[in-house]
A and B are shown apart, each in its own frame.
Chain A
């Protein structure tokens, strides 16, 4: 990983990920210090995408652990293949195999690797994405400490397994709950906010093939105005902007109009209440007029 900050930025942009200096520097520091990168921000701003891009940049595998309430070490780290162990016991009782030792049952043959163990046992450096860490319980966070600081895990029956190659770890959080200080201390922090009009324009141009400059700029300006002026349950983020631009492209829209926007509001907003409230309080015509005149 002997990349400079400039090289890293070029490599990321070459994959179509438009990023600013802050983002690149934070990733660079995390890579250099071999520390996990904790990425926060509203849903859809490109947190998960960042991990995928890094896997592309370093031409390696992405191993993903999707977190949810109740996730435990058996689903995240390892599990003994109970059924296989039971079969082995049954077979040894019938004398079809040689006598069975306890160690035989708790060997690698009966170990089911889950994402975390898989990431540290890889023969190369991989990207490990621990997605939506804020959805797990505090106990699980504490369990991650050993992995995130020493890149090792302890399995009682097998001992401590150290990573041959420290994975690039990306943790994402939607800040639904406060993460523990212990976890945050082990990570480099990056917050991805909503992009500026210029940046969003560049993202649309990079991700939506064939979109005209005019339409891309209108879409970026309108979405930006919505974020500033409208109080929604779920504000449109970059993923919604791209979906909207793609939809408009599909409808052969050359220029944004109030009628077209009204018909496609369901792509921008994910809640009927938000759509109704937007129509009543602001309206498509008004927001296009206001944002495109600026």
Chain B
């Protein structure tokens, strides 16, 4: 029975993103007889030592352990909460299916959007319903042609309310289909949020105290990012090659017999980074994160060009970033005329290609921080394709939560020409640094 539970617990940890192989499972199982199994504390220490491999995973592991190995009364309470939530979600879905109808045909929406609609306040739901009703009974309409327009308008309404009422969005979990596992995932995530583990909170929702904590983490992450950069091009496999010229010269004193060999090794080449940061209106809510990101990355990476863009682009000089403090950087960005404008990545990229050709080289890694919301997405794709051929790699950090990616067609379009990663939370950002991006 314990083996089954151990296996299920490992499955839970894997769903939470921990990499646990058979080797770790074996270590854990073999060591069980070393501890007093009736002691929950010892069991936790043992599992921590054998299953966790990164300091950052410890809070996640502890929350999962507390959920999984909770006592019966807690387990019953969790189960009850889960049932209530499921019923709420089902009702929300049913309500949306019943309400969101145009010309007796259901509106095509993703399940997440339907659930969100179902949880909106009654007056807001009534407004949307009224709009659909009036559109259905309007005159001179061709329903088949008009339906996609109506769908877009409803989606637009819902997006607006998502911004206004972010707190009614359900806690995001990736459902597994196993009710017990989903319940555990939901509860673990809830515990992490309750404990104030900011790395899982949306970056736009951090209060000032949490932002201070976030700053520390971001600084650490930027440093780790920079360390990785410097190591990718470090000593080659043929690290020590004999330098014939220097060896002969150095051994003249021994009559030309090469007693003391002189070596040479490849120089460490740090790649250049081009950081493009979207500061348009849709990105303002992430501004605190974006500015911190620019500041810390510039502090630790020496060869970096930073541009901010919205409809056009502007360069931030390294001197301004490195020698000014954070307040000055905020002022500098917020006072820039392009701050908070609409987004036109196509135009911004064109501006860069025309005016700053020198920053695009085959050694350049381009990091774009943007939510992909732009006008002319099709034209932008072409520009991105051009850019991709000129630089080494395009890395796109998208602050939109992953579950919203499918709601924006631009995400899929831009993914074709870049490696896109979510950076909605600090945990996302941390995940990025563990990947071999650069």
The interface stretch among B63-71, B110-118, B223-231, B358-366 is B223-231
Q: Across the A-B interface, how many residue pairs have beta carbons closer than 8 Å?
A: 97
**How far in angstroms is the closest Cβ of chain A from B198?**
15
How many Å from the CB of A151 to the closest CB on chain B? 16
Question: B52 to nearest A CB, angstroms?
Answer: 6
**Please, how many angstroms separate the alpha-carbon atoms of A70 and B235 in the complex?**
6
User: With A and B bound together, what is the CA distance between A188 and B45 in angstroms?
Assistant: 12
- Of B30, B212, B235, B240, the residue contacting A33 (CB under 8 A) is B30
Pair A188/B42 contact, Cβ less than 8 Å: no
Chain B 333-370 against A: per-residue CB contact (8 Å), 1 yes, 0 no? 00000000000000000000000000000000000000
Closest chain-B Cβ to A93's Cβ sits at a distance in Å of 11
Residues A38-58 near B (CB distance < 8 A): 38, 40-41
Q: Is B194 an interface residue (CB 8 A)?
A: no
Query: What's the tally of chain B residues with a CB closer than 8 Å to chain A?
Result: 42
Query: Once bound together, how far apart are the Cα atoms of A191 and B48, in whole Å?
Result: 10
Instruction: Determine whether the beta carbon of A29 is less than 8 Å from that of B240.
Output: no
Complex Cα distance, B30 from A185, in Å, reads 15
The reply to whether A176 and B223 form a contact with Cβ atoms under 8 Å apart is yes
Q: Does any Cβ of A come within 8 Å of B165's Cβ?
A: no
Rounded to whole angstroms, the CA-CA distance of A26 and B49 in the bound complex is 6
CB of A178 within 8 A of chain B?
Answer: yes
Q: Which of A25, A72, A186 contacts B35 (CB 8 A)?
A: A25
Q: How far apart are the CA atoms of A30 and B34 in the complex, in Å?
A: 11
Can you list 13 A-B contacts (CB < 8 A)? A22-B48, A25-B45, A25-B46, A26-B49, A30-B49, A32-B31, A33-B30, A38-B53, A69-B235, A70-B239, A175-B224, A178-B433, A190-B49
Q: In the complex, how many angstroms separate the beta carbon of A282 from the nearest chain B beta carbon? A: 14
A17 interface hit (Cβ, 8 Å): no
Chain A: number of interface residues, binned into ranges: 35 or more
Q: Once the chains bind, are A185 and B45 in contact (CB under 8 Å)?
A: no
- 4 new A-B contacts at CB < 8 Å, known A72-B235, A86-B257: A177-B224, A178-B54, A178-B434, A185-B24
Q: Report the Cα distance A29→B47, complex, angstroms.
A: 11
Contacts of B24 in A (CB 8 A): 185
In the A-B complex, the 9 residue pairs with the smallest Cβ-Cβ separation, listed nearest first, are A184-B53, A26-B49, A25-B45, A22-B45, A177-B227, A178-B434, A29-B31, A191-B55, A72-B239
A188 and B257 in contact, given A22-B45, A25-B35 (Cβ under 8 angstroms): no
